[in-house]
Amino acid sequence: MSPLTNTIVLAIAGLATQASASTIKVAVGKSGLTFAPDTVTASAGDVLEFHFYAKNHSVVMGDWTDACVPAKTGGFYSGFFPTAANTSNAEVFSVTINDTTPIAFYCSQNTGSHCKNGMVGVVNPSGENTLEAYQAKAKSVSSAESPATVFGGVVSAAPAASSTGTETGASSTASSTSSSSASASTKPNGAASLGVSSVTGMVAIVGAAALFVY
Ligand SMILES: *[C@@H]1O[C@H](CO)[C@@H](O)[C@H](O)[C@H]1NC(C)=O
Ligand SMILES: *[C@@H]1O[C@H](CO)[C@@H](O)[C@H](O)[C@H]1NC(C)=O
Ligand SMILES: *[C@@H]1O[C@H](CO)[C@@H](O)[C@H](O)[C@H]1NC(C)=O
Ligand SMILES: [Cu+2]
Separation of CA 73 and ligand 4 centre (Å): 22
Separation of CA 146 and ligand 3 centre (Å): 18
Confidence of residue 153 (pLDDT cuts 50, 70, 90): very high
The least confident of 4-13, 137-146, 187-196 is: 187-196
The string of pLDDT tens digits covering residues 95-136 is: 999 999 999 999 999 999 999 999 999 999 999 999 999 999
Separation of CA 34 and ligand 4 centre (Å): 7
Ligand 2 is surrounded, with C-beta below 6 A, by: 85-86
Is the full-model pTM beyond 0.75? no
By most ligand atoms within 8 Å of CB, the mutation choice from 55, 83, 86 for ligand 2 is: 86
Separation of CA 157 and ligand 4 centre (Å): 20
Whether the CB of 112 sits within 6 Å of ligand 1 = no
Mean pLDDT of 59-76: 98
Ligand number nearest CA of 52 is 4
Per-residue pLDDT at 90 exceeds 80: yes
Ligand number nearest CA of 86 is 2
Torsion angle defined by CA atoms of residues 93, 96, 99 and 105, in that order, rounded to the nearest 10 degrees: 0
Predicted confidence at residue 137, as pLDDT, reads 98
In the chain the domains, ranked by start, together with CATH numbers, are 21-193 (2.60.40.420)
The string of pLDDT tens digits covering residues 163-212 is: 444 444 333 333 333 333 333 333 333 333 333 333 333 333 333 333 23
Instruction: Please tell me the distance from the alpha carbon of residue 149 to that of residue 209, in angstroms, as a whole number.
Output: 45
Whether the CB of 195 sits within 6 Å of ligand 3 = no
Nearest to 93 by CA among 61, 67, 138: 61
CA angle, corner 113, sides to 108 and 115, nearest 5?
50
Atom number, ligand 2, closest to the C-alpha of residue 84: 13
Q: Give me the long-range contacts of 161-164 (CB less than 8 A, separation at least 24).
A: 162/25, 162/51, 162/88, 162/92, 163/25, 164/25, 164/26, 164/27, 164/30, 164/36, 164/51
Higher pLDDT, 10 or 144: 144
Nearest to 197 by CA among 165, 163, 161: 165
Atom number, ligand 3, closest to the C-alpha of residue 48: 13
pLDDT > 90 in the chain, percent:
65
Whether the CB of 82 sits within 6 Å of ligand 1 = yes
